[in-house]
A and B are shown apart, each in its own frame.
Chain A
Amino acid sequence: MKRYSVFAIAREALRHHTGWERAWASPLPKKSYDVIVVGAGGHGLATAYYLGKNFGITNVAVIEKGWLGGGNTGRNTTIIRSNYLQDPSAAIYEKARSLYETLSQELNYNVMFSPRGLLMLAQTHHEVRGYLRTVHANTLQGVVTEWIGPEQVKKLVPIINIDGPRYPVLGALYQARGGTARHDAVAWGYARACSEMGMHIIQQCEVKGVTQENGVVTGVETTKGHIGTKKLAIVVAGHSGQVAEMAGFRLPVEAVALQALVSEPIKPCMDVVVMANTVHGYMSQSDKGEMVIGGGTDSFNNYTQRGSFHHIEETLRALIETFPMISRLKMLRQWGGIVDMTGDRSPILSKTPLGNCFINCGWGTGGFKAIPGSGWAMAELVATGQPGPLTAAFGMERFREGRFIDESVAAGVAH
């Protein structure tokens, strides 16, 4: 495969870009693979990538119901951070964040990781204490965060109103190396690298059933026929419940729509990412200039991926109070993503009751930032068959044992 570089672009420009190759191949499925990953979102593709890179397993198919990267990977608000409170969360999100740092170079695909800095505003005394706790925890976890005062917040975010009449900004939890990345590019970059390793990415191929023998997985029934496999990794986010059912087990997961919207593009006015959990809203400005805004989850279960009005109304009220200058910007587009929520709002990376079948789900509202770490850890789980240090705490059995990893303490609803 040709490497991407400024020289390659110059070379291709001379022939009007007619010489570029496909970023990823579009093969027909083989009869069987060593590993099938169901779901070609960021997590599924990253799982495949690290199976190849870290374990040399390349006889892999990633199969996808729709188009790759078309689920939550392509509809989130692109925030990357690892300022989590609980040790297992901090470990996997920091792994992901640190992999993001070099991902563009590693994949030879610019995923535009931009460590522009991320602020989580504290607007009540209770929140101040909560974030101080997080800073203490992060220090011991090796995650670099700090507590900053309102003046420093104002310096980093000149458009913010720190003296709001209802919830003045009392300070913020600041992660200087948190930021954003280009969400589609993460999926595309991984897909290209997987394809380069000889893996098959099979789009428009829906799983209809899981076949097994003596309690061990043997393959999947798909809209493109039966495909055999030695190991199966289910990485399908919002539809995890359905695929798990085909594999014969149930998950403590429910699906709800998470709301997001963007404004029309304007010239740069905010460099950092700001999350305000007391008032429920978060905002960053994309490289295109759009204000990217996330709100809450709908309070009912559904699979529609549609935008609804009630949350964005509250979100915009909160954000206009926080950033009064956005009042005259316009909402260009709103949408919803189906997030898979577990009982403790933390993910599941786990063996399953079906032999050689593994599941990675439950990232809820916080999946994008975890993609490289999730793929790294999942690959280890699939390749070795056993949970490694990153996945140990995230097994399904924790719900039976009551061993929750509850981040809602520190993160509120917005991950």
Chain B
Amino acid sequence: MAGRAARGQLGRVAYTLYVTAYFAVLGFGLVGDLAGEHARAQTITPRASAVAGAVIAVIVIVAAQVGRTAVALRPSPAEVQYALLSPMSRQSSLARATGLSVVASMIGTAVAALVLMITSAPQFGGLSVGIQLSYVAFAAGVGLVAFALHLLVAERRWRAPLLALALLSLAASAYDVSRGAEVSPFTFAVRALREGAPALSVLGPFALGGVVLWLALARAEHIPLEMIGRGSDIADRAGVALLGNDLRTLLMLQRSMGAQPWRTRPHVRFGSRLARRFPVLMRALRGMARWRLYRWLMFLTLSSAIGALLRVHPATARTIGLASFALWLLGLILCEPLAQENDRSDRLFLLPRSRTIEYRHVAVSWSITFVWLLAVSWATVRDRTPALSIVAVAAAAASAATTAAAISYRREWKSVVKETSIFMPDMGSSALLISVLWPALVAAACLFPWASHQDGLVIAAPSAIVLGFLVSWINRGGVVKLFTPGVTPR
């Protein structure tokens, strides 16, 4: 027992280190890229960039530690509902694992949003460093203020206008920056920041973030758990999904964001004859035919954003990273049928040709994703990017999305899998294979001709490889043990 507990602690520590390293390397990689560009342009010193990167890393490390020591950070709607229905007060519920999980998710959301805003700032060619940092800080500040209000108000009727305001502000900032204009509706705020020290511009959002985190903890009792539990609000789910300190959490929440509820009546009906002749393909298309309007809107918006990102901004590490992330999310939406197959072992497994059918699912999911991503990439960058690179990037993104879907078991079944070794070798080995291939695919995406000459990938590609294999190593306890006959992990 002691050995098992020690191994559990070791795994916990390893996981914490993994999360920490993941964000630290990601942050440093992206900021390093930024620093390199500006150092060449002699507009900012590497030292200043390093300081900014270090601050980001510290924040992320703290967030990761707080999250991991609080609880496993995997809030699921079922858990939240359990907390709500349990015979104890809301405050007591929140003090337990589920409540802490939700709170930690909110904290992580704030930090993740901050890091994302800073590292994904568009190119600021021609502007001074003060302006650049001011815009980043301003954008981050607007987002955080919106988030703080979101937490404090905690009412559905207030949330939409606040989020709309935040998005509008960010869009206006981005528009100003893209035009290179220094006069804008936000001139006053920007100038106030610009005239301060650049360090203040960087530290300001972090201070604001700290206030938000404190408020989140102080007001934890009033976080609208029902919204999260019922999954009826995209903003809530997106907030939790943004947490990003647990790959599987991200996968699951991303899935649940897009998966419910389905239309009872499909947009398009496919005949039974076709469905029986091509069961896997038609099963996927029938699922898509039940997408609700908001899911289509989300899908098309994401596609448009990717297209715009690729079209407007040069192919830097940041652009590639963001586009890859968005493509991955997009692909995961398309791969929902494959993910559903892996949720329950008694779906496919009990069929005689389960492995064949699973591979068909992989092929169908990959193909649908690839075709769409190729279309988006082709429409946006075909005039300045080699065709081979476009195909390669679309293929890599489709592969990443497919593998992500294949390893995204629903948590409750993942837990059953761990306890009873319910997955059989021929199904489980495919999942294992896919999880091992995952890092290689990510690394390959970073090394394609389109991107390989860009700065920052020198850091990003090895990071992806190392961290990807670390993911596999950490996951081995949950997957490899399944295939040991006679041994039941507990």
B is a partner of A: no
A residues adjacent to B (C-beta < 8 A): none
Report which B residues bind A (CB closer than 8 A).
Answer: none
